[in-house]
Amino acid sequence: MSFLERFSARTIGIAGVVATAVMGLVVAAISFIPFGQRDVTAIVEHSAGLRVGEEVQVAGVGSGEVRGIHLDGHQVRVDFTIDRDVRLGRSTRASVKVATLLGSHFLEVEPAGSGSLKDDTIPLSRTSVPFNLQDVIEGSTDALDELEGATMAKSFQVVADALRDTPDEAQAAIEGVARLSAVAAKRSEQMRALLDFSRQVTGDLARNSGEILDLMKQSTLVLEELTKRRDAIHAMLVDSRRLAREVSGVLADNEAQLDPLMKDFKAALANLRRQEKQVTASIEGLGTMSRYFANAAGNGPWIDLHVPVALADNLSCGVTC
């Protein structure tokens, strides 16, 4: 293959890679960049179940998509896109709506007012959500405070007495209502206390939301640190396994040289054990001899020895005779 042919093949390959990368960027841009739309923000009291990716509607027509939901202090910031041809006046409103009974939602935008929307942001005063647990509890508590359980029980009892001559089915139903009213009268104070406690709990949660968020952040840091420690321990185990394989390989490769060495080492140990026994016996004999010598020389500058037969008979006779 000539140089020109190799150069052409390389050029074609590079061009193909570049074209593929450009096509990927174009597809990503089409997927993520909202062409023909602009970004708008709405400040709501809480998300009310709204999720990223759900639809934004204007007059019942889909005109955008929710792109982000973020906590902003005690409020929630909803970032969404909307078609550029939708004119948003300075009095534009937004509300979170329930789309289906399965729990899906959508953000409804109501353009209103003249001029343009300031900073492309709908303030909290012009947004609404489907429900507010705190308002429900407070409203129900005030309503129960205005009711008198005993009076309600008496009124239901009067109705039951008036309808006592009705057929058995209706009479049983009315008596059941009477018993229910009596139970409600007895439990009204407990219900009122329960609602008061619920209101206190929600108030405490609202006041301590900052501390709760800090605790959640600290928990996230602890989990991240545990994850790092787990990764470090895993890496150490992997390195230990690799070291064990390398040591096993070294031993296997040098088995022929190590086997005679180990045999010689065992023989040397056996010889040392024998020498140890001999040295121990010598030390014991030397100790006995030293004790006898000390006993013989301990009476003065002489040695007391008793030798029954120190000289031969002929030699001793020659000396004494």
At 228 the pLDDT is 85
> Residue 243 pLDDT more than 80?
yes
Q: Which of 98, 87, 104, 108 is nearest to 42 (CA)?
A: 108
Structure tokens at 260: 């005679």
CA triple 10-11-16, angle to 5 deg: 100
Mean pLDDT of the chain: 75
3-state secondary structure of 68: strand
3-state secondary structure of 79: strand
pLDDT tens digits along 20-68:
777 767 666 555 555 578 899 999 988 888 889 999 999 888 889 999 9
At 80 the pLDDT is 93
Structure tokens at 164: 């006592």
pLDDT band at 274 (very low <50, low <70, confident <90, very high): confident
**Interatomic CA distance for residues 187 and 177, integer angstroms:** 15
pLDDT tens digits along 164-217:
666 666 667 667 766 776 766 667 777 777 777 777 877 777 777 777 777 777
pLDDT tens digits along 85-131:
888 899 999 999 888 766 788 999 999 988 888 888 999 999 988 76
